[in-house]
Amino acid sequence: MRSATRAALLAASAVTALLSAAAPASAVPTVSMDCETGGGYYGCAPQISGAVPPMTITWTRNGVPVSQWNNRWAVSERCTPGQVLTLTAKVADGSGSASATDVFTCSNGPWP
């Protein structure tokens, strides 16, 4: 009887230890930005790693939110040659958020 009780207590302790073990910490996503320009247009795409769905992507252009671009993996539009643009993509998931920014000058030349 004692050995059965001891075995039950050990089993219960093992289950409790397994259930209370901390889950591995999720890493916050990392983001870098890749923008190119040419022919009076530009295109930007964030390079995302470590994000776990569900996630969101929010964009700002020159510090102003561009809500119609939200959750797009790439954006592009016409620009005025010589215009300096600042684009930021912020990626968020359940573990946190990260953002990346690219500052570039709109080019009328050929695409890189």
> In angstroms, rounded to a whole number, what is the distance separating the alpha carbons of residues 50 and 95?
10
Instruction: Give per-residue pLDDT as tens, 7-49.
Output: 333 333 332 232 233 334 468 899 999 999 999 999 999 999 9
> In angstroms, rounded to a whole number, what is the distance separating the alpha carbons of residues 82 and 61?
16
Instruction: Give per-residue pLDDT as tens, 56-68.
Output: 999 999 999 999 9
Domains (ranges, CATH) in the chain?
30-105 (2.60.40.10)
> In angstroms, rounded to a whole number, what is the distance separating the alpha carbons of residues 67 and 96?
20
The predicted structure's pLDDT at residue 26: 60
**What predicted TM-score, i.e. pTM, was given to this entire model?**
0.74
Check residues 103 and 4 and name the one with the higher pLDDT: 103
> In angstroms, rounded to a whole number, what is the distance separating the alpha carbons of residues 20 and 36?
49
> Tokens standing for 36?
């190119």
Yes or no: say if 67 and 36 are a contact pair by the CB < 8 Å rule: no
Long-range pairs, 18-21, Cβ under 8 A, ≥24: none
